[in-house]
DNA sequence: GAGCTCACGC
DNA sequence: GACGTACGTGAGCTCG
């Protein structure tokens, strides 16, 4: 590590792939190089008879220039057809030039097409030659502090050495370059760089048909210029020329000499409207590049491109500048946008590094205090914060009392919306996927396994390269995602739902849920007693001790030692699942003991021990992670601990909810959407019966029962209603007759009749289910009400199992995903409403169709109303949304 | 450490 | 005729 006291912020001017302290531009004379390339390889033709030698040579040159110079900016200048300003001055200008050969002319569009594919900027401008554009661009770049490299085959460009450009002239074809400095110009021409135009004014140039002074060649010109410095001086004091013959020539041709100088002078002030940003090197879409190279049959270039992609990925070294924090704050304020990534230590309490990308420039801060000084930019509503997994960053900032106004763009979320089926969204993997470039691998930097280093233990340079690469990758990736989201019609969902949610989730996690440790310990004691008791009973009945938790050992006891009939098998042996045990319950008293054991063991291990392990013991709270990029349908997930699967069904398990309590002086307010998925089904299918049922607040399961069983609603029994409820669930999940028969314990035939009756009663639902499969086959994905997408690649699979599974996904995802859309909208509305009203109440948990708030007692009435209103009006559907609410001191009581 | 089974929620 | 309810997290065991 570098000693902190030396600096606050490391500023790195970082160009893609590698470092460079200074911005660097390469400017190429496209016409000059393609000409040379064409004459070097004029015979190259592809299978369609198209000549490609010129384009090939130019592009090859450009690819090797990017490797060789590793510039941040690049530009290729071209001449345009038609007369130029020089022709206005001198009609015979370039009069001896033959036109471009047809075989080369036809390659110009190819070369330009390839440059576009490679995302190399090019310029051309009516009335001006490539030279003038190069001159103008060079001057501007130099004024802005760039290192300028001009590459051409034309020695006219040597005059640009005088303004400070590095001019590289091709040697022998185009394979070698020679860099000219003032000294080398002197060696070769015998004049200084700033005399090159004077030199040409005297000696002329036959290729451009610049006359100069007839009879004055390079040697004489150099000699004269050594004495007189410029053409103007020579003309005004030609009497001083010693040689009589030359004196006469100068006198006769002085006007022509002045004109020639003018013609040879490259313009530095072409009226072009541009900023240097236009020439920043962008990462090309490699699919497009590969496609173009294939199309023109340039297999050499294709291979070179693929090879270069594989290497120029790692940042080898960076140079850095030490800057005060105030500078980055100023830069951000000026730029109004920045990318950020915070590197936290294991505990999340301290920052080990922070990286920023502002206007293509990378800053690294190692001193945690730098962040505190930056607080004003975080809470400025006019500054756009972007990053990758911003929720993590926000959590750090919240912990350190730094407020954040809003998050603008999170690549982590964008990657999720673009493909919610991915297993993980690690930056390096996503970056590779979208750019085919590798970041310095985590493994290379930190090692792996037990020897894995902490961030702060990696040596300074390596870690700087790592951090700089990551933030730069984030910046690049987010640019790519902008257009990808638009192209997939996901921008509204991204901006309107997912991005606002990032901050809300961070706040919920930060707030956490208060836990009553006395309750936890109380239940823990009870469970320990029960488990010891049951264990003893099981061992007595089995006649030996064994591990009840091991399905394998349990299988041996039940099916071999006790001789019970094995109902079902798994890949690894006997199944001892709940269903199986249920079927055996009457056959042996050990079964019910084992079933009880399982109930209590689950509660103990998952909900007591598991909870204790992740508790913040200092203030008795749990801070779950609400993950936004996990589920394939758009739901949130909850981890460490999972608060979305706290027991509720069994009375004893339900007591776990007593652990989760309101803060002092507060009450928990729990609101859940009633039948949200069925309501969404009613909306999506447009089914009249369903819609009417919900509009009239009828008992939907009772209605389904009366339809399915063909009886009057008043005659529906409790059993029939609960069966109908199962049918309704089954429909949402895309269940078949077998599944329904299993879950209801009825015959398959009976189940089939139920489903048939269901679809007869709700014909639009059947139509919807059928339609969604068709649409999925056509588009390859399904979507929710807010246009959230999920790809379903197996919808056309030959394999029955794969295909049926895909069909179930296609039927379920629009329903489950739309419900997720709705509650996300509701969360945003609720959070905004609470903030606008300045209320202290806080959202603390979401469980798919349920929101839990911690409400100060004096706000209870207001917040109840606010919550219900905002949830019920979150979205406009063909059916009303209904919210049920309850309150309590603990989650158990709030039911 | 990966993969399996089991159990909890919606 | 197949195969056999969506979406998750976590614990514990077993194997390598």
Q: Is residue A558 included in any domain, yes or no?
A: yes
Sign, CA torsion A389/A393/A396/A401? negative
Closest residue to B8 (CA to C1') is A645
**Residue A648: which nucleotide is closest by CA–C1'?**
B9
> Is the C-beta atom of A653 closer than 7 angstroms to strand B?
yes
One domain, residues A90 and A40: yes
- Round to a whole number and report the distance in Å from the CA of A155 to the C1' of B7: 80
Residue nearest to nucleotide C8 (CA to C1'): A637
Same domain, A270 and A410: no
Instruction: Identify the segments of chain A with pLDDT beneath 70.
Output: 1-22, 42, 95-96, 98, 172-175, 307, 309-322, 448-451
Rg (CA), chain A: 38
Domain shared by A167 and A266, yes or no: yes
Residue A842 included in any domain: no
Rounded Cα–Cα distance for residues A409 and A481 (Å): 9
Cα separations (Å) of A822 from A291, A412, A496, A755, A759?
Answer: 42, 21, 12, 28, 26
Which residue among A814, A834, A862 closes a domain?
A: A814
Q: Which of A775, A849, A815, A493 has its CA nearest to residue A684?
A: A815
- In a shared domain, residues A179 and A35: yes
Q: Could you tell me which of A435, A497, A471, A388 has the C-alpha nearest to residue A9? A: A471
Q: Which run of H or of E encompasses A705? A: helix A700-709
Residue A807 lies in a domain: yes
Q: Measure A164 CA to B2 C1' (Å).
A: 62
Cα angle value A570/A573/A576 (rounded, 5°):
70
> Which nucleotides in chain B lie closer than 7 A to a protein CB?
1, 4-10
Q: CATH number of the domain that A575 lies in?
A: 1.20.1060.10
Q: Closest residue by Cα to the C1' atom of nucleotide C3?
A: A801
Give the whole-angstrom CA distance, residue A274 versus residue A255.
Answer: 36
Q: How many helices (H) and strands (E) does chain A have?
A: 39, 26
Q: Is the CB of A645 under 7 A from strand B?
A: yes
- Asked if the structure places residue A641 within a domain, the reply is no
CA angle A592, A596, A597 (to 5 degrees): 115
Helix (H) or strand (E) holding A351: strand A351-358
What is the Cα A657 distance to its own chain's centre?
38
| Residue nearest the C1' of C9 (CA based) | A642
Give the SS3 label for residue A17: coil
Do A465 and A421 lie in one domain? The reply is yes
Distance, Å, A600 CA → C11 C1': 13
Instruction: Please give the C-alpha separations between residue A396 and each of A269, A580, A617, A640, A831, in angstroms, as whole numbers.
Output: 51, 48, 19, 17, 20
Separation of alpha carbons A55 and A116, rounded Å: 13
Q: How distant is C1' of C2 from CA of A632, in Å?
A: 27
Residue A478, domain CATH: 3.30.420.10
Could you check: is the Cβ of residue A531 within 7 Å of any atom of nucleic acid strand C? no
CB-strand contact A725/C, under 7 Å:
no
Is A530 within 7 A of strand B by CB distance? no
Q: What's the token pair of residue A726?
A: 């199962």
Q: Are residues A364 and A445 in the same domain?
A: yes
End of a domain among A288, A310, A336?
A288
Chain A window 559-578, residues with Cβ within 7 A of nucleic strand B: 570-572, 575-578
> Which DSSP symbol is given to A265?
P
Distance A544 CA to C16 C1' (A): 29
Separation between the CA of A390 and the C1’ of B3 (whole angstroms)? 32
| A742 contact to strand C (CB, 7 A limit) | yes
How many CB atoms sit inside 10 A of residue A529's CB?
11
Measuring alpha carbon to C1', the residue closest to nucleotide B10 is: A848
Angle between helices A589-602 and A517-542 (to 10 degrees): 150
CATH number at residue A133: 3.40.50.1010
**Nearest residue to C6 (CA, C1')?**
A733
**CA–C1' A610–C12 (A):** 13
Is strand C in 7 Å reach of the CB of A641?
A: yes
Answer with the one of A761, A780, A814 that is the final residue of a domain.
A814
Same domain, A331 and A214: no
CA of A614 to C1' of C12 (A): 18
Q: Is residue A504 part of a domain?
A: no
> In angstroms, rounded to a whole number, what is the distance separating the alpha carbons of residues A178 and A208?
22
* CA distance linking residue A891 with residue A841, whole number of Å: 16
Q: Are A90 and A265 contacting, i.e. CB atoms less than 8 angstroms apart?
A: no
Domain count, chain A: 4
Report if CB A890 to strand B is under 7 Å: no
Site of tokens 């590095």? A166
CA of A606 to C1' of C11 (A): 6
**What single string gives the DSSP state of each residue in A268-313?**
S-------GGGGB-----HHHHHHHHHHTT-HHHHHHHHHHHHHTT
Q: What is the C-alpha separation between A130 and A123, in angstroms, rounded?
A: 8
Nearest protein residue to nucleotide B5 (CA to C1' distance) is A551
- The spacing between the Cα labelled CA in A601 and the C1' in C16, in angstroms, equals 28
Nucleotide nearest to A624 (CA to C1'): C9
The DSSP annotation for A94-135 comes to TTTPPPPPHHHHTTHHHHHHHHHHTT-EEE--TT--HHHHHH
Question: In terms of domains, do A259 and A334 share one?
Answer: no
Q: Specify which residue's alpha carbon is closest to the C1' of nucleotide C12.
A: A549
Q: Same structural domain for residues A325 and A261?
A: no
Is strand C less than 7 A from the beta carbon of A424?
no
**What is the spatial distance between Cα A69 and Cα A281, in angstroms, rounded to a whole number?**
12
Query: Beta carbon of A650 within 7 Å of strand B?
Result: yes
Q: Is the CB of A449 under 7 A from strand B?
A: yes
User: A346 and A272, same structural domain?
Assistant: no
Q: Is residue A497 part of a domain?
A: no
Q: Is the domain of A594 the same as that of A686?
A: no
Distance separating alpha carbons of residues A630 and A243, to the nearest angstrom: 88
Within 533-572 of chain A, which residues have Cβ less than 7 Å from strand C? 547, 549-550, 552-553
- Report if residue A665 sits inside a domain: no
Cis peptide before A185 (omega within 30 of 0): no
Closest-approach nucleotide to residue A813, Cα vs C1':
C6
A855: in domain: no
Q: Are A284 and A278 in contact (CB under 8 A)?
A: no
Q: Does A651 contact strand B, using a CB cutoff of 7 Å?
A: no
Q: By residue range, what is the domain housing residue A721?
A: 679-814
DSSP A501: H
A452 touches strand B (CB under 7 A): no
Q: Which nucleotide is nearest to A677 (CA to C1')?
A: B10
Question: What is the CATH number for A703?
Answer: 1.10.150.20
Residue A364 approaches strand B within 7 Å at CB: no
CA atoms within 13 A on the CB side of A13: 14
Q: Gap from A484 CA to B10 C1', in Å?
A: 32
Query: Is the CB of residue A579 inside 7 Å of nucleic acid strand C?
Result: no
- Contact flag, residue A805 CB and nucleic strand C, below 7 A: yes
Q: How far is the CA of A387 from the C1' of B10 (A)?
A: 32
pLDDT at A98: 66
Please give the structure tokens belonging to residue A172: 């022998």
Residues A729 and A608 in one domain: no
Looking at strand C, which nucleotides approach a protein CB closer than 7 A? 1-15
Distance from residue A738's CA to nucleotide C2's C1', rounded to whole Å = 13
Instruction: Cite the DSSP H helix spans in A156-236.
Output: 182-189, 196-203, 218-228, 231-236
Strand order in the sheet with A176-180: A121-123, A73-77, A24-29, A147-152, A166-171, A176-180
Residue A885 CB coordination number (10 Å): 16
């Amino acid at each position: 590590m570098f000693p902190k006291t030396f600096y606050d912020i490391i500023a790195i001017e970082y160009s893609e792939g590698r470092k460079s302290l200074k911005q660097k531009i390469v400017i190429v004379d496209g016409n000059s190089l393609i000409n040379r390339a064409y004459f070097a390889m004029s015979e190259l033709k592809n299978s369609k008879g198209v000549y490609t030698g010129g384009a090939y040579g130019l592009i090859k040159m450009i690819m090797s220039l990017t490797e060789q110079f590793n510039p941040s900016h690049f530009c290729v200048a071209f001449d345009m057809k038609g007369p130029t300003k020089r022709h206005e001055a001198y009609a015979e200008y370039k009069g001896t030039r033959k036109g471009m050969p047809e075989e080369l002319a036809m390659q110009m569009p190819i070369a330009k097409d390839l440059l576009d594919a490679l995302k190399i900027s090019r310029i051309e401008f009516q009335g001006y030659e490539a030279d003038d554009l190069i001159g103008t661009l060079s001057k501007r770049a130099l004024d802005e502090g760039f290192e300028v490299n001009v590459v051409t085959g034309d020695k006219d460009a040597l005059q640009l050495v005088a303004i400070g450009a590095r001019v590289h002239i091709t040697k022998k074809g185009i394979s070698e370059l020679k860099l000219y400095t003032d000294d080398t110009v002197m060696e070769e021409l015998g004049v200084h760089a700033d005399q090159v135009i004077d030199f040409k004014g005297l000696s002329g140039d036959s290729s451009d048909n610049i006359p100069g002074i007839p009879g004055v060649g390079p040697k004489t010109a150099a000699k004269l210029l050594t004495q007189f410095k410029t053409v103007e001086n020579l003309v005004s004091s030609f009497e001083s020329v010693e040689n009589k013959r030359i004196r006469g020539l100068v006198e006769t041709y002085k006007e022509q000499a002045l004109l020639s100088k003018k013609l040879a002078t490259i313009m530095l002030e072409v009226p072009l409207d541009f900023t240097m940003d236009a020439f920043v090197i962008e990462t090309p879409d490699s699919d497009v590049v590969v496609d173009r190279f294939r199309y023109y049959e340039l297999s050499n270039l294709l291979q070179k491109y693929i090879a270069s992609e594989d290497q120029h990925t790692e940042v080898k070294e960076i140079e850095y500048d030490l800057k005060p924090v105030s500078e980055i704050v100023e830069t951000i304020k000026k730029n109004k946008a920045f990318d950020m990534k915070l590197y936290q230590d294991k505990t999340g309490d301290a920052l080990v590094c922070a990286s920023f990308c502002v206007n293509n420039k990378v800053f690294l801060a190692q001193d945690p205090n730098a962040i505190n000084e930056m607080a004003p930019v975080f809470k400025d509503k006019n500054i756009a914060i972007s990053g990758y997994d911003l929720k993590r960053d926000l959590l750090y900032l919240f912990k350190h009392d730094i407020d954040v106004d809003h998050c603008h763009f999170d690549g982590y979320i964008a990657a999720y919306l673009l493909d919610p089926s991915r297993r993980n969204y690690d930056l390096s993997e996503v970056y590779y996927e979208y750019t085919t470039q590798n970041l310095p691998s985590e493994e290379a930097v930190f090692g792996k396994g037990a020897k894995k280093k902490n961030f702060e233990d990696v040596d300074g340079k390596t870690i700087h390269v790592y951090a700089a690469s990551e933030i730069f990758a984030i910046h690049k990736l987010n640019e790519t995602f902008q257009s990808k989201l638009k192209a997939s019609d996901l921008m509204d969902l991204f901006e309107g739902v997912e991005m606002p949610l990032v901050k809300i989730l961070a706040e919920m996690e930060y707030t956490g849920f208060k836990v009553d440790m006395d309750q936890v310990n109380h239940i823990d004691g009870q469970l320990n007693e029960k488990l010891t008791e049951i264990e003893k009973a099981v061992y007595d009945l089995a006649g030996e001790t064994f591990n009840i938790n091991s399905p394998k050992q349990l299988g041996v006891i039940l099916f071999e030692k006790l001789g019970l009939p094995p109902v079902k098998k798994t890949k690894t042996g006997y199944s001892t699942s709940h269903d199986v045990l249920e079927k055996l319950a009457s056959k042996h008293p050990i079964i019910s003991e084992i079933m009880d054991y399982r109930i209590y063991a689950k509660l103990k291990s998952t909900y007591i021990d598991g909870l204790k392990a992740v508790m913040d013991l200092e203030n008795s709270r749990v801070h779950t992670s609400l993950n936004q990029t996990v589920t394939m349908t758009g739901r949130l997930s909850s981890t460490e601990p999972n608060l979305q699967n706290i027991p509720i069904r069994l009375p004893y398990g339900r007591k776990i909810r007593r652990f989760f309590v309101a803060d002092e002086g507060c009450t928990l307010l729990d609101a859940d959407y009633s039948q949200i998925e069925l309501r969404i089904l009613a909306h999506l299918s447009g089914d009249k019966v369903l819609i009417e049922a919900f509009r009239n607040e009828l008992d939907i399961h009772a209605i389904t029962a009366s339809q399915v069983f063909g009886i009057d609603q008043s005659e529906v029994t409790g059993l029939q209603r609960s069966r109908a409820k199962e049918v309704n669930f089954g429909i949402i999940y895309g269940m078949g007759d077998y599944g329904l028969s299993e879950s209801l314990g009825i015959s398959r035939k009976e189940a089939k009749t139920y489903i048939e009756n269901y679809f007869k009663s709700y014909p639009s639902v059947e139509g919807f289910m059928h339609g969604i499969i068709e649409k999925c086959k056509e588009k390859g994905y399904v979507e929710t009400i807010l246009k959230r997408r999920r790809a379903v690649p197996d919808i056309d699979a030959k394999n029955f199992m794969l295909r049926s599974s895909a069909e179930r996904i296609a039927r379920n995802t629009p329903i489950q995903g739309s419900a997720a859309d709705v509650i996300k909208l509701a969360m945003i509305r609720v959070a905004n409403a609470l903030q606008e009203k300045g209320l202290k109440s806080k959202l603390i948990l979401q469980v798919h169709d349920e929101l839990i708030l911690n409400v100060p007692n004096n706000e209870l009435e207001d917040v109840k109303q606010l919550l219900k209103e905002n949830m019920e009006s979150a979205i406009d559907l063909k059916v009303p949304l209904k919210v049920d609410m309850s309150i309590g001191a603990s989650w158990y009581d709030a039911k």
